[in-house]
Amino acid sequence: MTPGHSPLSLMLGMMRLHERPELQAPERLADWLEARLDQGLDWFDHADIYGGDGHNERLFGEALRRRPGLAARVRVVTKAGILMAPGDTKHYDSSPVWLAGAIDRALRRLGVERLDLFLIHRPDPLMEAEATARVLDDAVRAGKVAALGVSNFLPEQWRRLQAALSHPLTHHQLQLSLTRSAPLFDGNFDALRRDGLSPLAWSPLDGGSLFQGAAGQALGRLADRHGVSPAGVALAWLRRLPGSPVPVIGTLDPARITTLRDEAQLSLSRRDWYTLLEAARGHEVA
């Protein structure tokens, strides 16, 4: 990711921060952040809609303001482009005015001088690529954003944007897991690899559904053999892919974070990888 910083093996998702009462007080959240940083986990994934109207970004920023030394240690990702105000039609907005404002608002809420990675959250059919690219390029030139990426885009959607940008798109955040493996077979994963985008995998445990049925049984057998948890095996399966996709995990529980960080380093054999794939898909490869 960024030269001079720790290798990225897990990203900590902040989507559910507002659901954890014990982390609402700035000092308590600062303690939690410092403990994660001391573990070598310094990447935190945000979006302006998490918690509603930037609430979770604001909680994060209040913790950093309470303990200013942490701001230089955290690496912040945030996303914008989804609008879902109560009583309004949910829609996407990749217009220059909205994205420029979203970047500035995120910087203020998060209490950082620069976003390490800014992603457009969803592809917008109304996006004018040249106009959107200008505002993103301007944000990089101004030092507000270090790197640019997209989330949930299809190849021709990110390529249209990239063609208009002066700076490269460096990351793509997509839904990818053992039980959500379609991008590996429909060309999307190959396309992002070809185009030099580093994959970030959201919902890498598929909301827990991959622990059910045949996939869950196969995960359990391998977990028992290796002395790890089924979740650790599922993350190791994901990390076995070319480019080592970075799982964006949603848990905020310190013990579980530690377990997943360690177990994601498990090295799966090619045979075990395909055994899990077969179980999840319900059929052997052709």
Length of the chain: 286
Using a 10 angstrom Cβ sphere, with 0-12 exposed, 13-18 middle and 19 or more buried, the burial of residue 164 is middle
Cβ-count burial of 85 within 10 angstroms (0-12 exposed, 13-18 middle, 19+ buried)?
A: exposed
- In the three-class reduction of DSSP (H, G, I as helix; E, B as strand; rest coil), residue 175 is classed as strand
The pLDDT of residue 85 = 84
Whether 4 has a pLDDT exceeding 90, the answer reads no
In a domain, 48, yes or no: yes
Above 60 in pLDDT, residue 5?
no
pTM value?
0.95
Mean pLDDT, residues 250-266 taken together: 96
What are the b/e assignments for 217-238, b being 16+ CB within 10 Å? ebbebbbeebebbbbbbbbbbb
- Neighbour tally for 106: CB within 10 Å: 24
Nearest-angstrom CA–CA distance, 210 and 212: 5
Q: Tell me the CA distances in angstroms from 83 to 37, 56, 86, one per residue in order.
A: 31, 16, 10
Distance (Å, whole) CA 14 – CA 1: 19
pLDDT tops 90 at residue 63: yes
- Report yes or no on 219 lying in a domain: no
Across the range 176-189, mean pLDDT stands at 98
* First-last CA distance in the chain: 36
Is the residue at 205 inside a domain?
no
Rounded to whole angstroms, what are the CA distances from 263 to 10, 52, 201? Answer: 11, 32, 17
Q: Residue 268 corresponds to which tokens in the numbers above?
A: 């799966």
Q: Per the domain annotation, does 142 fall within a domain?
A: yes
Side chain identity at 51, as an amino acid letter? G
What tens digit of pLDDT does each residue of 108-126 get? 999 999 999 999 999 999 9
Percent of the chain predicted with pLDDT > 70: 97
Catalytically active residues, by annotation: 50
| Rounded Cα gap, residues 132 and 50, in angstroms | 23
C-alpha separations of 94 from 23, 87, 133, 137, 141 in Å: 32, 21, 10, 14, 19
Specify if 276 maps to a domain.
Answer: no
Tell me which residue range forms the domain holding 82.
11-175
Q: What is the pLDDT of residue 52?
A: 93
Q: What is the pLDDT of residues 232-252, one digit of tens each?
A: 999 999 999 999 999 999 999
- Cβ distance 46 to 110 under 8 Å? yes
pLDDT at 83 over 60: yes
Whether the pLDDT of residue 9 is over 90: the answer is: no
Listed residue (13, 11, 14, 15) closest to 1, CA to CA: 11
Whether 156 shows a pLDDT value over 60: the answer reads yes
Residue 181 lies in a domain: no
Domain at 89, CATH number:
3.20.20.100
Element (H, E) at 214: helix 213-226
Q: How confident is the model at residue 2 (pLDDT cuts 50, 70, 90)?
A: very low
What is the enclosing helix (H) or strand (E) of 83?
strand 82-83
Q: Which of 37, 32, 50, 41 lies closest to 12, judged by CA? A: 41
pLDDT class of 92 with cuts at 50, 70, 90: very high
Q: Given this model, what pLDDT does residue 7 score?
A: 54
Task: Please determine, for residue 1, whether its predicted confidence score (pLDDT) is greater than 70.
Answer: no
* 133 within domain boundaries: yes
155 assigned to some structural domain = yes
**Whose CA is closest to 264, among 175, 185, 201?**
201
CA–CA distance, 110 with 145 (Å, rounded to integer)? 13
Average pLDDT of every residue of the chain: 96
| pLDDT for res 86 | 86
Segment 17-52, tens digit of pLDDT = 999 999 999 999 999 999 999 999 999 999 999 999
Number of folded domains in the chain?
A: 1
